[in-house]
Amino acid sequence: MKQKITVLGPGSWGSALAQVLAENGHDVVIWGNNPAQIDEINTYHTNRHYLPNLKLPSSIRGEKDLAIAVKDADAALFVVPTKAMRTVAEQFNRVCQNQPVIIHASKGLEQKTHKRISEILLEEIEEAHRQAVVVLSGPSHAEEVSVHDITKITAASENEQAAKYVQQLFTNEYFRIYTNTDVIGVETGAALKNIIAIGAGALHGLGFGDDAKAAIMTRGLAEISRLGVAMGADPLTFIGLSGVGDLIVTCTSVHSRNWRAGNLLGKGHQLDEVLDNMGMIVEGVATTNAAMELSQQLGVEMPITQAIYQVLYENRDIKTVAKDIMLRDSKVENEFSNLYRK
């Protein structure tokens, strides 16, 4: 059934997801606050700053007025940076006149509050203006989805019917969706893997090999799981698409802006220089700060996150930090094994 979907955020991922929806036969409107970008989408069907080689379907319409964009929408897809999520959600709530399904495809934790994105949306959007909130997350690059590379991700919601609805909206021959009810696990994995990706990129920039990269990914996954479980997640979620899947793709690909930022830091560039030249938000930098505060609040040990925090926020030398983390006290590997003992 053809649906009207409003995409809030015309960045690379928002544009790629809009393309999927349009190709699936849906009525798609993209809203953004950059008038020139919206004009480009409507006139040339391109979004060159974010996806230079993408030609958007001509059926996709750009809209500058949020009230017009969301009018009669069956679903609203939020794909804006974490730091803008609360503001955009509040604006949406003011102008929305119906009750769409709320979907978000962003990854991060809010600064100071440490809240997950679905929590922000539930706080800012009244029940009268939302049916349910669904998280769309997993191993995916806009650059690959836009050229129809095979991609599999997760739609997570406490409302199983809403998750299945999102599954039906997006699924096609190159884009497959699995459903999950563990919203906490899916959002935690999505946010925290960006921290580990910065570390993986830094190791590459320092010249370390595959052994080191495998080590940081596997032990990074242990940290993600540890904090996620403390927040209420199912540990099994972290061996799925939104856990290990997203971690692998983000820690090994040049498409990952978090990996690229870490790689430049490893090569000796300063953080301000890296962020200024990236051209897009590097979510892992802010998430590192939020995760560090959250881990201290919950009493969760996260040595890799702590090391990356020291590099990003305390200006410590990367090589020294890498050495320090190797000389930590010895640990047991399978820390969750007691959960499955009878």
DSSP code at position 337:
G
For residue 71, count other CB atoms closer than 10 A to its CB.
16
Question: From CA 156, how far away is CA 182, in angstroms rounded?
Answer: 6
Phi, psi of 32 (to 5 degrees): -155, 165
| Distances from the Cα of 92 to the Cα of 8, 24, 129, 194, angstroms | 9, 25, 9, 27
Q: How far is CA 19 from the centre of its chain?
A: 18
Question: From CA 15, how far away is CA 258, in angstroms rounded?
Answer: 19
Full DSSP string of 271-325: HHHHHHHH-S--HHHHHHHHHHHHHHHHT---HHHHHHHHHHHS---HHHHHHHH
Does residue 193 carry a catalytic annotation? yes
User: In the numeric block, which tokens belong to residue 323?
Assistant: 């050495």
Q: Of these residues, 193, 319, 323, 342, which one is catalytic?
A: 193
Known catalytic residues are 193
